[in-house]
Chains A and B, each alone.
Chain A
Amino acid sequence: MATMRNPGYTYRDFVSACKKGVSDVYVIKGAMKTAKEDFELKTQGDVLKFIARGLEKLEWVNTKDWENNPNPTIKILVDAYTFAHGVTRRGYIAFLFNNVTSMWLVKSFRNNEDPGGKFKPFEALGNLFPDVGKESGE
């Protein structure tokens, strides 16, 4: 699979489409599921408004060929970014423009699973009292 050195799309174009709403952008079912679980975004409209409002501290991750492209004869790229959400969290978004349907697709929208960046206050508390829970096998 080819990995590009630069983003495949102008991010501003994607945001402009999100501002237009669901007529121009579709959030794939898997991305919608994690958007609900990780960000409490209940509808596709919520996801697009979230993006249109501006993702903070955006960092480009990579650009690759679309793995699940149903029509592999047409080359379609996927851009992936991470973004800041609040003080302790980062999110991950991947999107593409489908030339066949003339629709933008949000392929991923979830927490960025960076094990170093998680906020674990209760783990720190557990370290203070290492014997708690041992008796019950917790």
Chain B
Amino acid sequence: MMNNSCPVCGSTDLKEKGVTEKIKAPYGPEISFEAIENTCSVCGEEGDFFNKSEDLILSALRESTEVSIDTILNSLNGLEISNAYFERALRLPPRTLARWKNKKLSASSLALLRMVGTYPWLLEVADRDFEPRFAGESLLGAALDKFKDLLTAHKTVTTTLPDQVSTVVENQNGMCLQLSAVISKIKAAKVLERRGPVEGELVRL
């Protein structure tokens, strides 16, 4: 590259200014930093011509990533997933998560943590040695839960009924009620399939 020249037109008539930018890692907070922006007075091109902002961007991203590790682990703990269970389910050595908490983790460990943070039910799948049928059922169960959440949110937005009945209200065509019933039945069937019927239990699914 020509030193101190515009990469588009080659002019050396350049201006430099600081621009506040924000960046965040997945599950991390937004971190502000002062990026450098050049402007070419001849062709009007703007940008970081000499890549002076790269270190600043990477440093801000690292800061956000470090916070995100605690955020993900705390959120898993909030779901009653202990660090010990996390390690056992994924067949990781003991104290792995303690090392991660001290920010000693590789890119692949970080990717794994983000995946589990996004889909915590993956741990149960791993714990069952990735058994295909269980994996499929877990996926379906998680999808149904998500779908139910979406429907509940939809109801909350559309309903105008009083507070005392708003938690059980369904929309006009009763679709939410029917879907909730279907979801409950599928879940009950899964539980029954795993544990088998108890003697004398009436099975009506």
Task: Tell me whether B42 and A42 are in contact (CB under 8 A).
Answer: no
Among A43, A98, A101, A132, the residue within 8 A (CB) of B154 is A132
Closest to A137 in B: B158
A42: B residues at CB distance < 8 A: 23, 57-58, 61
Task: Tell me whether B9 and A44 are in contact (CB under 8 A).
Answer: no
A135: B residues at CB distance < 8 A: 158, 171-172
Task: Tell me whether B7 and A101 are in contact (CB under 8 A).
Answer: yes
Q: Which of B48-56, B71-79, B92-100 binds A?
A: B48-56
Question: CB of B87 within 8 A of chain A?
Answer: no
Separation of A135 and B161 alpha carbons in the complex (Å)? 14
Task: Tell me whether A101 and B45 are in contact (CB under 8 A).
Answer: no
Task: Tell me whether A100 and B172 are in contact (CB under 8 A).
Answer: no
1/0 per residue, CB under 8 A from B, across A116-138: the answer is 00000000000001011101100
Task: Tell me whether A29 and B54 are in contact (CB under 8 A).
Answer: no
Interface size class of A (residues with CB under 8 A): 20 to 34
Task: Tell me whether B173 and A22 are in contact (CB under 8 A).
Answer: no
Within 8 A of A (CB), among B154-205: 154, 157-158, 171-173, 175
Main secondary structure of the interface of B (DSSP, over half): loop
1/0 per residue, CB under 8 A from A, across B19-54: the answer is 000010000000000000000001101111101011
Within 8 A of B (CB), among A5-52: 22-24, 26-29, 32, 42-45
Separation of A70 and B9 alpha carbons in the complex (Å)? 6
Question: CB of B5 within 8 A of chain A?
Answer: yes
Task: Tell me whether A43 and B7 are in contact (CB under 8 A).
Answer: no
Task: Tell me whether A24 and B1 are in contact (CB under 8 A).
Answer: yes
Closest to A104 in B: B7
Question: CB of A102 within 8 A of chain B?
Answer: yes
Task: Tell me whether A100 and B9 are in contact (CB under 8 A).
Answer: yes
For chain B, the count of residues having a C-beta within 8 Å of the partner chain is: 29
Known: A42-B57, A103-B1, A132-B154. A98 touches B173 (CB 8 A): no
Question: CB of A105 within 8 A of chain B?
Answer: yes
A29: B residues at CB distance < 8 A: 45-47
Task: Tell me whether A101 and B1 are in contact (CB under 8 A).
Answer: yes
Separation of A42 and B172 alpha carbons in the complex (Å)? 47
Separation of A63 and B10 alpha carbons in the complex (Å)? 23
Question: CB of A71 within 8 A of chain B?
Answer: yes
Nearest 9 CB-CB pairs, A to B?
Answer: A26-B7, A70-B9, A29-B47, A70-B43, A22-B51, A100-B10, A136-B158, A101-B10, A103-B7
Known: A27-B47, A131-B175. 15 other contacts (CB 8 A): A24-B1, A26-B8, A42-B57, A42-B61, A43-B51, A43-B54, A44-B51, A45-B54, A70-B8, A98-B7, A101-B1, A101-B8, A102-B2, A103-B7, A135-B158
Could you show 17 A-B contacts with beta carbons less than 8 Å apart? Answer: A26-B7, A28-B45, A29-B45, A44-B54, A45-B51, A98-B7, A101-B5, A101-B10, A102-B1, A103-B7, A105-B7, A131-B175, A132-B154, A132-B171, A135-B158, A135-B172, A136-B157
